[in-house]
Structure 1
């Protein structure tokens, strides 16, 4: 796997790169500015890009906007955005516009190289990855007339794991239940959320969107 690491902090940029290289991942480029990312990706197609949300010059959402441009122009390139803090608004924006091949992780998590490599592997396969800390932060928060309130405790638990990007098999292992039981929970959950069974491939993503909006 070949990746590009983008972070204005040399310490974080080089630290991430070293962790990745030690795990057998090729770091093709280490960039300090989001503004040059598109040109580098266009010249040397990587498998994925890792980029901080807050980049110079304003340290607001430059990294996120650069990630969105990559997803628009180079849909085969997975994008993993990193954040120092839990920011549901940014996560929701990313998921709504780019529900495949993208991920959102907190920087505290990427020191665990297994977590980082797993996230990269999943976004390069076109999956959606959301940090479980963000998912956990959203549990229990309520809005009036929120369809998520209709879910049972177990269905909400399953949905939280779906939001983390886990497969049915992985959810079954995590909850110590059968895979068919997971399928039944998901079917009921989708029905309660008003997500029709139309054969589309994005039903789980729509469920995740409902869950993120649940944060209010």
Structure 2
């Protein structure tokens, strides 16, 4: 499936933000097949429309706790190819872990967790939507930075060189080797060597894709 013309269900209780997100996605050639304001409506919309990706707030009516996140996790269990991008106003790594750890058997849809502030960078936001629809994992850089700043993580990460820490942060954001190489202006072979060194020093089992991101984030959390 190409990126052009994705079918999107959008769930956001704030009317202005919901309409703004819909307008952005439509401008880039995607189709918002449903735009709703509560968790029950988002569940019904995904079951009915079977979109390529769901973009949802964490906190939704009626309880404004984590209804959007819970609905997204349940829906991806029923629709394994559904991409899910969860948006949140606050940096809450716990929500990111809950989303990633709900990895059901046979799930192939991508996962994303971004701060709403990131939506202001329009092309970055749309790129994230497209990557997730293709099966990638995208984690907000600020969530990664907070995990890296934690005291225990900082102590354990002392095993790594400064460049290896850079690579680890980019891995945790969900970037593929090619994207890391481009960002750091090094070869992909060099990136592969850094990653092997990181996994060895941190005793993380080798993994790819979503599982690679989960392994890295789990290490940082623990």
Instruction: Work out whether the TM-score is over 0.5.
Output: yes
User: Please, which of 178, 188, 199 is the counterpart of residue 197 of structure 2?
Assistant: 188
- Displacement of 1:145 in angstroms is 10
Alignment of 1:105-116 (within 5 A): 105-116=114-125
Matched, 1:62 2:72: no
CA shift digits 1:53-103 (9 cap, x unpaired): 011122111111011111111111100000011111111221222396110
Moved more, 101-110 or 195-204: 195-204
* Contact residue 96 and residue 209 of structure 1 kept, 8 A: no
| Alpha-carbon displacement from aligned partner over 1:138-174 (angstroms, at most 9, x marks no partner) | 2232218964442222211101001111111111111
**Is it true that 1:52 corresponds to 2:61 in the alignment?**
no
Name the CA distance, whole Å, in 1 between partners of 2:208 and 2:96.
26
2:163 to 139, 150, 154: 154
Question: How far apart are the structure 2 equivalents of 1:163 and 1:53?
Answer: 21
TM-score, normalised to structure 1's length? 0.90
Tell me which residue corresponds to 2:41: 36
Indicate whether 1:72 and 2:81 are aligned: no
- Mark the CA change 1:26 to 1:177 in structure 2 (over 3 Å): closer, same or farther: same
Q: What's the secondary structure of 2:9's corresponding residue?
A: strand
Cα pair 1:20 1:26 within 8 Å, conserved: yes
5+ residue gaps, structure 2: 1-5
Change in 2 beyond 3 A, CA 1:7/1:200? closer
CA 1:195/1:85 → structure 2, altered by over 3 Å: closer, same or farther? same
Q: For residues 76-87 of structure 1, what are the structure 2 equivalents within 5 Å?
A: 76-87=81-92
Extract unaligned runs of 5+ from structure 1.
Answer: none
Residues matched between the structures, number: 213
- The answer to whether structure 1 residue 4 and structure 2 residue 9 are counterparts is yes
Is 1:208 the counterpart of 2:213 in the alignment?
A: no
Tell me if 1:118 matches 2:127.
yes
Superposed CA RMSD in Å reads 2.2
